[in-house]
């Protein structure tokens, strides 16, 4: 808990890059996505994946998939300590082997500030890599009084078109994230939250810009490992 609090103090919740301040994201060339997926029936083995796509074309430029042995125990609210080290290693490999392909922002399959102590996986990874990071979750994490009750479901139903949103405001009064309808043909929303070095408004705009379907391409293109993984 102390280490989490120490790292949280370094989170920057504002835009820090010039491309973030442009409505068309001029200057943004590479967007990354990361995920750690477990082998079915075995919580000790997982695939750590990093993919880098061009922007705005969203074509795959780089992909790294490695099978890893997960030894740290799962503790609610501290999942990042179990998973992030493998994602940091993937980023470091890219920086060493093909630095010209380093992503300018990472989309994380998980949460950022939308977390019991305001420091989810996207924040943790952002602070350790010093890269702008955005949390993109498929389900609502019920924290700070946020619940998936009938009112929440009604608000979700009110999102009729791609790009429509509503804020996730906790009982503390803090806006923890945004609910986004990312795709016209899917009524299931995304839960977007700040990770590091990006504002919530920019995070939502970029996630939407990366969506050809419900899930943004940098996360959708992350492939499960096959035959021990590898990179291309």
Q: What pLDDT is stored for residue 230 in this prediction?
A: 43
The CA R_g of the chain, rounded to the nearest whole Å, is: 17
Q: What pLDDT is stored for residue 123 in this prediction?
A: 97
Contact between residue 105 and residue 52 where contact means Cβ atoms under 8 Å apart? no
Helix 121-129 and helix 79-97, axial crossing angle in degrees, nearest 10: 40
Report the C-alpha gap between 207 and 211 in whole angstroms. Answer: 7
Q: What pLDDT is stored for residue 73 in this prediction?
A: 75
Report the C-alpha gap between 66 and 196 in whole angstroms. Answer: 25
Q: Which residues does the chain have with pLDDT short of 70? A: 224-232
Report the C-alpha gap between 110 and 106 in whole angstroms. Answer: 12
Q: What pLDDT is stored for residue 130 in this prediction?
A: 97
Residue extents of the structural domains in the chain:
1-221
In sequence order, what are the beta bridge partners of 182? Answer: none
Q: What pLDDT is stored for residue 20 in this prediction?
A: 97
Q: What pLDDT is stored for residue 191 in this prediction?
A: 98
The three-state secondary structure class of 171 is coil
Q: What pLDDT is stored for residue 231 in this prediction?
A: 42
Could you say which architecture CATH assigns to the domain 1-221? 2-Layer Sandwich (3.30)
Q: What pLDDT is stored for residue 177 in this prediction?
A: 97
Length of the chain: 232
Report the C-alpha gap between 79 and 106 in whole angstroms. Answer: 18
| CA distance to 91, 198, 207, 216, per residue, from 124 (Å) | 14, 14, 19, 21
Residues with Cβ within 8 Å of 125's Cβ and at least 6 positions away in sequence, in order, are 34, 80, 84, 87, 88, 106, 108, 131, 133, 195, 196
């Amino acid at each position: 808990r102390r280490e989490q609090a120490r790292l949280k103090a370094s989170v920057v919740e504002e835009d820090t890059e010039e491309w973030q301040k442009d409505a068309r994201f001029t200057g943004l060339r590479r967007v990354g996505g990361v995920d750690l997926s477990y082998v079915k029936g075995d919580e000790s083995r997982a695939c750590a994946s990093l993919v880098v796509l061009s922007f705005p074309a969203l074509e795959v430029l780089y992909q790294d998939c490695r099978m890893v042995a997960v030894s740290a125990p799962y503790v609610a609210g501290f999942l990042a300590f179990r998973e992030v080290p493998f994602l940091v290693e993937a980023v470091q490999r890219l920086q060493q082997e093909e630095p010209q392909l380093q992503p300018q922002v990472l989309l994380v399959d998980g949460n950022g500030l939308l977390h019991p102590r305001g420091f989810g996986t996207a924040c943790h990874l952002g602070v350790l890599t010093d890269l702008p990071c955005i949390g993109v979750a498929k389900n609502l994490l019920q924290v700070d009084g946020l619940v998936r009750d009938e009112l929440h479901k009604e608000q979700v139903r009110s999102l009729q078109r791609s790009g429509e949103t509503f804020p996730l405001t906790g009982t503390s009064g803090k806006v923890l994230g945004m609910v986004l309808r990312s795709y016209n043909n899917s009524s299931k929303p995304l839960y977007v939250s700040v990770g590091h070095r990006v504002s919530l408004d920019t995070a939502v705009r970029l996630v939407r810009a990366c969506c050809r379907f419900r899930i943004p391409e940098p996360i959708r293109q992350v492939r499960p490992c096959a035959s021990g993984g590898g990179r291309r």
